[in-house]
Structure formats: C-alpha cells, structure tokens
Amino acid sequence: MPEQNDTKNDNRPELPSPPRGNKAALAVLFSLIVLFSVYMFFGQKENAREIPYSSFLSYLDLGEVKTVRILDQKTIDGLLKGKNGQEMSFTTQIPYFDAELMNRLLNKGVSVSGVISGTSLFQVLFELTPWIFGFIFIWIMMRQMQGNNKAFSFGKSRAKLYNDSAKKVTFNDVAGQKEAKFELMEVVDYLKNPKKFVKMGAKIPKGVLLVGMPGTGKTLIAKATAGEANVPFFHMSGSDFVEMFVGVGASRVRDLFEQGRKHSPCIIFIDELDAVGRTRGSGLGGGHDEREQTLNQMLVEMDGFDTKDGVIVLAATNRPDVLDPALLRPGRFDRQVVVAMPDVHEREEIIKIHMANIPASGLVDVDKLARATPGTSGADLANMVNEAALFAIRKNKEIVEMDDFEDARDKILMGVARKSMVIAEEEKRATAVHESGHALLHYFLPNSDSLHKVTIVPRGRALGLALSLPDKDTYSRTYGWLYDRIVISYGGYAAEKIVYGQTTTGTAQDIKQATEIARKMVREWGMAEGIGPISLGEEEEPIFLGREIAQHKEYSEQTAQKIDSAIQEILGSALEKAMSILTREKDRLLKLADRLMQIETLEDRDVRELLSLPDGKYKDETLAQSVLDGKVALE
C-alpha cells in the first residue's frame, strides 16, 4: 500500500501563483494604507479640543484662558481653566489679522509664547509620500488593465500558442487518414529541412485547407502536423476575427501573422474558416462589410507584397463550397486535403486508440464494433467509448465489457432510451405492429441492409425504432437499395393498414423519408425511365445562411407533371409491394408484435429464432420472389 503522506509522488496540480503585477499592486496598496494611518495619527493633536475663534475670545474675556502658543500667526494652542482646577487643551484657527489680540492677552495676564516654523524637507516629503504612492498604485493597475481588459486589446489576436513538448501530438495519435497524412508530411519535411526545397527551386504550399465532415479529426491532424515538425502552433477560430467594431478583424489578422513571423518557422491553424472566408459581394451586409475587410487582410497577408517564408497556414472547414475563390487560388490555399469519414479498418484503429485510456475487457470484439458503426466519425467513436465507460460505472463494474459498448453504440445510433415514459396499452400495441412491419420487410427484400435491432422503447422523439446496419461500407447506392429502402419505410404504414384497417400519425416521418428518396431518384439521380438522366432544379443557398431555401424551376409544366407521375409511380409500387409481403406474412407480423409487447427489444438473431427464418439474406431476386409466391418454404 502506498503511503498517504508521500509527497514525492503527489501528482496533484499546483495552484497557479498570482501574477507579479498583482503582488506589486497589493504591496503598494498596503504601504499606502499604513502611510495614511500614520499621517492621520500624527497630524492630529491628542486631547486638543478645537473651538471657534469667537469662543476663544469669549473665554479670554471671562479670564478662563491660562496659556497660549501662537503658531505662524495662524493657529493658537493653549490651556483653559476648568472647574475644580482642571485644565483643558484647546486649539483654534485665527481667521483674520487681529491687531488687538496681543494687548487683550497681556491685559488678562495670559502667558504667551509663539513660533514661526519654516517648511522642512522631511515635512514636504512626508506630506507628498501618500500622493506618490497613489500615483504608483494607479499606474500599476492601468498596466494590469491594459494586459487583461478587452477594451485595451481589441486589435490583438486571440490565437493560442501550443509549443509544449510534453503534450505533443504526432501522426501516431491519428488513426487512419493515410492520404491526408501523406500530403501533410510534405509540409513537415519543408519545416524540418527547407534547404532541400530551396536547392531544387521548389516552393512549398503556403496554405493547406483541410476539408471534411464534422468530427473527422481535422483539428487533430493539424496539431499532429505541428507536433511532427516540432514548431510553434498558433490556433484560432475563424469567428474570433470578426467583431461589431469596424477594423478589429483586419487588425487581428495582422497581429496573428506578425506573431507567426516572430516565431518562424511555425504553423498557423484557423478553424472553421468559412466563418470569415465566405464569398465577398453576395452577402447581406453590404459592400463595406467588416467581415470582408477581415478577409481582404487575410488575402494580403497570405500572398501580398510583404509576405515571408516560414509561416504555413492550415485551415479547416466543412463548407469549402462557400469559400471565396481568391482564398482557394494557388499562392494562398494551394492544396486541399480531404479528411474523410473512416472506413471499417480505420474505425477499428480509432476504437483501439480510445480504448487504451479505459480498463476494457479482453473479450471486447473491436472488429464487431467497427463493422456495427458504419458512417460514424472519429468523434462519434470517441464518444461511444466514453459512454461505454459511463455505462460500466453505473453498473459498478471494474472493467468495461462488450455489453457496455453495445449499449453505448445503441445510445449513439438510436438515442437515449426513455423507459420511464408512460404509454397506453393500445398505443403501445400499435407501435409494436408498426415496428414489426418495418423489421419483417428486411428479411424479404434482397437489396436491403440487415436488421440490427427492433424496439418499442421510446428513444429520442420516436416511440419505437427498427434499426438496420449495412454489411459493408458503401459510398454509393443502387436503384435496388433505394427502392427497397422506400418499401421498408412504408412497412409501418402497411402493417397498421393490414391489422387495424387505418393508420396513425406515427407514419408521418416514414412517408416523408420515402417521398424524399423518390423525389431525388427522379430529379437528381436520373432513375425514372420516363424522364431519363437529367437534373431538374438547382438548389439556391444564401452565402451567409448556408442552407437551401429555394429551388429554381427550370422546366415546363408538362415536365413537372411527368416528375409528379414518376414519383407517384415509385411510391405507389413500393407501397403495393410492402402491402403484398406483409399481407402474406401477417401471422409472422402478429407473432413478432406479440413478442415485442413482452420483451420490448429484439435483435436480429432473436427475430430469426422466433419466426424460424434462415440465416443470411435473400440476395437472389429469383429466390426472393419464389419465397413471396409460396414456392419455397422458409421453415
């Protein structure tokens, strides 16, 4: 057992010490308080009662003044005769020149003394010291405000410098992305050995644009590039440049590149470049927009008259289509590197990297997890591993097991299970019939993906879910897969129609999905025989909003009627096929719905065992049709 009092192995982070400027300000403030206290203490006469000059003259007339001392003909200190022989000190100020004062004092027999004191150097310094310290205190506070307050640093860059060798990220920390790393290794080689390029007269790209979907690791690859080259790395978001104050963004761009040149060779990384690099002249902010000034300054800094070598600009965006063409020309962002979604082998490597940080069981099938998570990004997989660890903690486990990973995967793919949601028995039964219709069609359509899980536990906004997973990564879809996808979408609608004779509002999203697929098949993918391979309608996207708001109608009314007829034909045929299959398999449909009412969640193997379905898929269209015609028995 390690000793609890062992301070040598104490890895707790040390508390940051206060800045030196704050210490100096506190010291000056403390000294100022002490000096004012001393000044006030010694500046007042102890037990001296201050009285008006008129009262002093009254006491003098009554003969109660015993002794006086006149200071610089301005102040009178003295003693008054009190009752019972007691004396009382007093002080008063002479408000005017009184020529009769001395005669009155002598006539009353008052003992008079006086002094005319010059101003000493010590007294001057003593009186000026609090003011000197006050000015020093204000100067220190102004310096602190200038360093920390945004009001004094609007034009300064907010870029963060990463140059800590202890936290260095290299390409070994990036799973997959071989092509992207190969392109960036050239940048690394230049930063390490620029003489080789100069000797050959070659110029390294001044800017590299990382393009990819969110979560694919663009920022991680940029940090790994800096780590491999072992150079300073400046990180800044595109949105940090633009402010409501005119000229601030351009000033920050200048300051960023000045910092980069001081630390040359270095890498400047601008995340979410589309926030500042959108096409000029077509926005909603007018021609003299602050964002456009910022972009213009960035164009000049990257390739203008006053550019220097040794500063490589990396940028990341998932919207390269909205960037200004001047940014993408050679001499600025010369090269675009695509950071793609990981394939099955890359997903396996990513999962292993993140599993190294948790106590995972040796029985975890990483290959199965990689195959069961198609279309997920590196960020999704990192989140899945973290969610699996959280599931294990909730169950008070010491290690993370396979069932925890499966729960985490289902949570990411299907949403959070809302088991506490109260649903009426009739509505729950209708949901079971609906989801059974979706699930059952997976086994009778040759081009569909394999069923993964069917559940009537509410997840997200859905009351139930039938989830399918592809057998392999696919980057394009065939007509057969799209058509079968529409048939499966109509599965819930057809099942409700067959069992209840009517449908519910729960089919809305299914109908919308089916219609959207059919519309794209006809208008964009040229899959309608009566219309042919022609693109009908161009999307129009505002440059600032970044989403579709309208479509140009560049065809006649006759063509529009053909489009509508083609879409209706596809949808009608798919619905008819779904009705045909589920009508023939109504017994299996009801049997599957009954089991879902009991267990709520069934996986693919559970459905096959329940309905006596063989393993594998009907890939042969002839065999599948024979099954539908009843020529081949499934049992």
Distance CA 206, CA 257 (A): 13
As a whole number of angstroms, the longest Cα–Cα distance in the chain is 147
Contact 504, 430 (CB under 8 A): yes
DSSP state letter for 130: H
Do residues 64 and 80 lie in contact, with contact meaning Cβ atoms separated by under 8 Å?
yes
The two beta strands, 160-162 and 233-237, are antiparallel
**How would you label 224-259 residue by residue, b for 16+ Cβ within 10 Å and e otherwise?**
bbbbbbebbbbbbbbebbbbeeeebbbbbbbbbbeb
Question: Starting at the edge strand that comes first in sequence, how are the strands of the sheet with 333-338 ordered?
Answer: 160-162, 233-237, 266-271, 311-317, 207-211, 333-338
Dihedral pair phi/psi, residue 153, rounded to 5°: -135, 35
Write the DSSP assignment of 522-588 as a string of letters.
HHTS---TTT-S-----EE--TTT-S--EE---S-HHHHHHHHHHHHHHHHHHHHHHHHHHHHTHHH
Q: Element (H or E) spanning 441, and its range?
A: helix 425-441
Nearest to 410 by CA among 602, 215, 597: 602
Range 378-398 burial, b when 16+ CB lie within 10 A, else e: bebbbbbbebbbebbeeeeee
Rounded Cα distance, 234 and 230, in Å = 13
Distance between CA 116 and CA 74 in Å, rounded?
10
Residues noted as catalytic: 435
Measuring CA to CA, which residue among 327, 346, 384 is closest to residue 221?
346
The sign of the CA dihedral 199, 201, 202, 207 is: positive
66, 78 contact by CB (below 8 A) = yes
CB count, 10 Å around CB of 469? Answer: 17
Helix (H), strand (E) at residue 67: strand 65-71
Closest CA to 346 of 385, 375, 316: 375
Task: Specify whether the CB–CB gap between 203 and 211 falls below 8 A.
Answer: no
Distance of CA 249 to the CA centre of its chain: 21
* Residue pointed to by tokens 């021609």: 287
Which of 579, 418, 422, 551 shows the shortest CA–CA distance to 495?
579
Q: Which two tokens stand for residue 443?
A: 């086994």
The residues facing 268 across adjacent strands are 234, 313
Q: Sign of torsion, CA 557 563 566 567?
A: negative
Strands 450-455 and 601-603: antiparallel
